[in-house]
Amino acid sequence: MADEAIATGRLSAGEQSATHELSRRRIGVPDIVFFVVAASSPLTVAAGGLPMSYGTTGVIGVPLIYLVLATVLAVFSVGYAAMSRHISNAGAFYSYIAQGLGRVGGVGASFVALVAYNAMQVGLYGLFGAAASGLLGAHFGLDVPWWVCSLVALVLIAILGYRRIDLNARVLAVLLICESLTVLAFDFAQVSNAPSGLSAEPFTWGALTTGAVGAGFCWVMASFMGFESGAIYSEECRDPKRTVSRATYIAVAVIGLFYAFTAWAMSMGTGVDNIVAESGEKATDLVFILGEQTLGSGFSTIANVFMVTAVFAALLSFHNAVARYFFALGREGVLPGKLGASHPSHGSPYVGSLTQSIFAAAVVLLFGVSGGDPTGTLFNWFTNLGALGVILLLVVTSVSVIGYFRRDGRGENGWSRVVAPVLSSAALAVILVLAVVNFQALLGTPDGSVLNWLIPGLVLLAGVIGIGYGVWIKTSNPRTYAQIGHGAPPAE
């Protein structure tokens, strides 16, 4: 009814604005940092990402890769932050690319973003279900199917997604602090009990080139997923011109330094010469085994509990990102207009949130009923698909910064407008190529597997379909086309 009233002009200007606006001035820099870091999930990286990085690549210099990538992403953030000072839109990448490279390209980017963020979020339900089911079985003797655990989490996330953004931020803050303290306790225990003593070797060039360094960069890049999502909350910030840029820089620094330290501490716990072999043999159990050896048997129980809450926090973070993409695209008429409705009391993108929850529930039920593997298939395939999509968006966004400031510098200096975007786009393009070439290392599939090209092909297909759809909007609906990427409903 509200949408019909807007279309016919029966609502006042203020009511129209409220219908298509998220809650204002609800969150600040710490809140966005919580959303961003929660998406990368420190405990998930420590328990899963790091052993896989060491074990599958043979690269001892994983800590150095974290510092290199943090530097690259910090350079990317220069141009990204410059655009955030002039564009405030929940569509983030979509709106940046639309205003920097053209509306058709923006629609193409929006389709890639929807595929990538939905894939990341849905894939995490597989990991959550497996972790929660294992915890209930090991400590309570309950045999609960993984997909039931995932659906319970899905309902809780749907409720939080329906509510105000500041409530979500508080929940994430508590969960993130708990898991971060757990990881830090593990780190300091390994450093304090290093069997071979402390060594700076993992930070050397020789350590970086000990194995499949390309695959190493792919694994580490996955740990940064979500760092770019600060702009998604720009409409809900207290001071969008400053909050997004500050939060992005802080998040990159925290993720890069924290995970580099954790990767180094883990290699100290096993000994530098043993980290690759130990990671390959013990895989995701390595953190719990090393933790029990240095902190006692209680560490494993606590870490397993916080592992579940850590994945829940990541799920909530990605859910909020997807809901806001649906909202931005619905508000501008690219997707059905009802997706662009915000809750009158909570100011949340509740229709987009519900849509994402329904999609996730359908995928989880499909995998559950068919007996699909929650980690080897649902988590592995979907999250790697999402990671590849986000890397592609990072490359295109860097180029869009140059396009956006080409005719009007808007008071930004040359470093922000040109130099940093050129450097970051080149570096990120190399990472994208490495990710595609080494994709089988991410999936753990054999050389001839169809998945090695099928999953990357889905990202490209989403972009091509989006571009085609953008061309169709341009020719068939000029009013909608005029608003693409500009954060307002199409003019009537």
Confidence of residue 29 (pLDDT cuts 50, 70, 90): confident
Band the pLDDT of 6: cuts 50, 70, 90: very low
Q: Which pLDDT belongs to residue 91?
A: 77
Q: Is the pLDDT of residue 488 over 70?
A: no
Kindly tell me if the per-residue pLDDT of 3 is higher than 60.
Answer: no
What are the sequence ranges of the domains in the chain?
22-483
Q: What is the mean pLDDT of the chain?
A: 88
Lowest-pLDDT choice from 89-93, 263-267, 458-462: 89-93
pLDDT (mean) for 113-132:
93
**pLDDT 10s digits, 348-383:** 888 999 999 999 999 999 999 999 899 888 988 898
> Can you give the pLDDT at residue 446?
85
More confident residue, 363 or 13: 363
Query: Does residue 216 surpass a pLDDT of 60?
Result: yes
pLDDT value at position 23? 61
| Per-residue pLDDT at 182 | 94
The yes-or-no verdict on residue 8 having pLDDT over 50 is no
- Between 63 and 212, the more confident residue is 63
Q: Mind listing the pLDDT tens digit for each residue in 233-278? A: 877 777 777 888 888 899 999 999 999 999 999 999 999 999 999 9
454 and 384 Cβ atoms separated by less than 8 Å: no
Cα–Cα dist 424/426, whole Å = 5
pLDDT above 70 covers a percentage of the chain that reads 93
Give the tens place of pLDDT for each residue, 134-167.
999 988 899 999 999 999 999 999 998 887 776 7
Q: Is the pLDDT score of 478 beyond 60?
A: yes
> What does the pLDDT read at residue 133?
94
Q: Which pTM value belongs to this model?
A: 0.87
Determine the Cα–Cα distance for residues 368 and 173; give it in Å rounded to an integer.
31
* Secondary structure, 3-state, the chain: CHHHHHHHCCCCHHHHHHHCCCCCCCECHHHHHHHHHHHHCHHHHHHHHHHHHHHHHCCCCHHHHHHHHHHHHHHHHHHHHHHHCCCCCCCCHHHHHHHHHCHHHHHHHHHHHHHHHHHHHHHHHHHHHHHHHHHHHHHHCCCCCHHHHHHHHHHHHHHHHHCCHHHHHHHHHHHHHHHHHHHHHHHHHHHHCCCCCCCCHHHCHHHHCCCCHHHHHHHHHHHCCCHHHHHHHHHHECCHHHHHHHHHHHHHHHHHHHHHHHHHHHHHHHCHHHHHHHHHHHHHHHHHHHHHHHHCCHHHHHHHHHHHHHHHHHHHHHHHHHHHHHHHHHHCCCCCHHHHCCCCCCCCCHHHHHHHHHHHHHHHHHHHHHCCCHHHHHHHHHHHHHHHHHHHHHHHHHHHHHHHCCCCCCCCCHHHHHHHHHHHHHHHHHHHHHHHHCHHHHHCCCCCCCHHHHHHHHHHHHHHHHHHHHHHHHHHCHHHHHHCCCCCCCCC
Q: Could you read off the pLDDT of 200-212 as tens digits, one per residue?
A: 999 999 999 888 8
Span 32-36, mean pLDDT?
A: 83
- Output the CATH code of domain 22-483: 1.20.1740.10
pLDDT score recorded for residue 26: 67
Q: Give the mean pLDDT of 455-477.
A: 96
pLDDT at 17 (0 to 100): 43
Q: Residue 86 and residue 240: Cα distance in Å, rounded?
A: 9
**Confidence bin at 22 (pLDDT 50/70/90):** low
**Region 450-476: what's the mean pLDDT?**
95
- Whether residue 79 is predicted with pLDDT greater than 80 in this model: the reply is yes
